[in-house]
Amino acid sequence: MLEHDRMSELPGKHLAAALLLFVLDAFVIGQGALALAAGSATIFILVPLWLSAWHSGERADAKRRAQIAVIYAAAAAGVLVVNRLNNQLAERRAQTLIAACRQYRQTSGEFPARLSDLVPGVLPAVPRAKLTAAYAEYSYTVVTGRHQLAWTVFPPFARRIYTFEDDRWQRLD
Which sign does the torsion angle of CA 160, 163, 168, 170 carry? Answer: negative
Reported confidence tier of residue 35, pLDDT bands at 50, 70, 90? confident
Residue 27 clears pLDDT 60, i.e. is over it: yes
Instruction: Tell me how far apart the alpha carbons of residues 26 and 86 are, in angstroms, rounded to a whole number.
Output: 9
The pLDDT score that the predictor gives to residue 157 is 81
For 153, phi and psi rounded to 5 degrees? -80, -50
Task: Name, in order, each residue with C-beta under 8 angstroms of 118's C-beta and a sequence gap of 6 or more.
Answer: 97, 100, 101, 104, 112, 126
SS3 156: coil
SS3 for 23-89 is: HHHHHHHCCCHHHHHHHHHHHHHHHHHHHHHHHCCCHHHHHHHHHHHHHHHHHHHHHHHHHHHHHHH
> What is the CA angle 120-123-124, rounded to 5?
65
For residue range 82-103, list pLDDT tens digits in order.
999 999 999 999 999 999 999 9
> What is the CA angle 63-66-72, rounded to 5?
145
* Out of 31-35, 83-87, 90-94, 147-151, least confident range: 31-35
Say what percent of the chain tops pLDDT 70: 94
Q: What is the side-by-side strand order in the sheet with 157-163?
A: 139-143, 146-154, 157-163, 168-172
Find the distance separating the first CA and the last CA of the chain, reported in whole Å. Answer: 55
